[in-house]
Amino acid sequence: MPYVCLLLSGAALLVNGLATLGHLPRRDAAVLSLAVGGTQLVLGVVHVSTAGHAPADLLTAAGMFLFGITYVYSGLDALLSLGSRGLGWFCGMVAFCGMQLAAAWLGSDPLLAVLWLCWSALWGLLFACLALGAGRLEPFAGWSLVLTSQVSATVPALLGLAGWWPAGGFVAWLAALLLGSLFGTARVLARRGPKVPRRASAGKPLPAR
């Protein structure tokens, strides 16, 4: 179930990134966010009910709920024109929680720790854009969502579903270098491309958020 949630997040992050860049209507991304978020919340409840109460199981469930609530909140924010400030502050809190989850996973699953750092950075960008009014960062946030969505979510999800989840620090370092280069590429593309006009309802991606 966690890998299914991760696979759905890859789609939601990509579509929300494209919406942030103005390539898709916000309402389209909002509908997908509601569908993905609602599914993740249901899967999270099922996971808690069936997987037991070991620390790893609870950490996994926490991540599923953080992503699910983010997507549901994002979808409602766009559809109801809530203004995005509350969503932005929520993203800030989730970014902080994501860093704690990264620290918690570092010893047992370094790759997952790296992925949580990536997602925390995405949530942090949304916090800056939506809560702090840093609209100039929207192109960077949009490109970051688009470029990292498949590497941080879709590809790991497919590997996990196939039973090939990478283990060990070497793979984690490679992932960190690749994701870091994607953030750098996003910054370059954001500077070259046209500025994204500020919207009243910016909506979240990513997965989380």
Euclidean distance between CA atoms 164 and 183, whole angstroms: 26
Identity of the amino acid at 127:
F
Enter the pTM of the model.
0.90
Write 154-158 long-range contacts (CB < 8 A, 24+). Answer: 154/6, 154/7, 154/10, 154/11, 155/10, 156/6, 156/111, 156/115, 157/3, 157/4, 157/6, 157/7, 157/9, 157/10, 158/7
Euclidean distance between CA atoms 198 and 62, whole angstroms: 32
List of domains in the chain: 1-192 (1.25.40.600)
Quick: pLDDT tens for 26-76: 999 999 999 999 999 999 999 998 877 789 999 999 999 999 999 999 999
Quick: pLDDT tens for 80-130: 999 999 999 999 999 999 999 999 999 999 999 999 999 999 999 999 999
Euclidean distance between CA atoms 87 and 5, whole angstroms: 21
